[in-house]
Amino acid sequence: YTMSLKEDPSNYLVYCNRSISYFLMGEYDNSYYDAKSTVEINSQWWKGYFRVSKALFALKRFMES
């Protein structure tokens, strides 16, 4: 994913997919940051918001999720 983002840093799908990969590895901070990037690049992509919420919940930031 990281190499792909070096080629095209505006690819929200790569951020979204890397976000879930980080999530599954328990790296919730990184998952959150990539999900946030997804939403910043494409605010219409619903999965970005879903990933943000999942990461925030895992980080126990319940009110924000």
pLDDT tens for the chain, 65 residues long, are 999 999 999 999 999 999 999 999 999 999 999 999 999 999 999 999 999 999 999 999 998 88
The CATH classification of domain 2-58, taken from the options 1.10.287.3510, 1.10.10.10, 1.25.40.10, 3.30.70.260: 1.25.40.10
Q: Where are the alpha helices (DSSP H) in the chain?
A: 2-7, 12-24, 28-41, 46-58
pTM of the model: 0.92
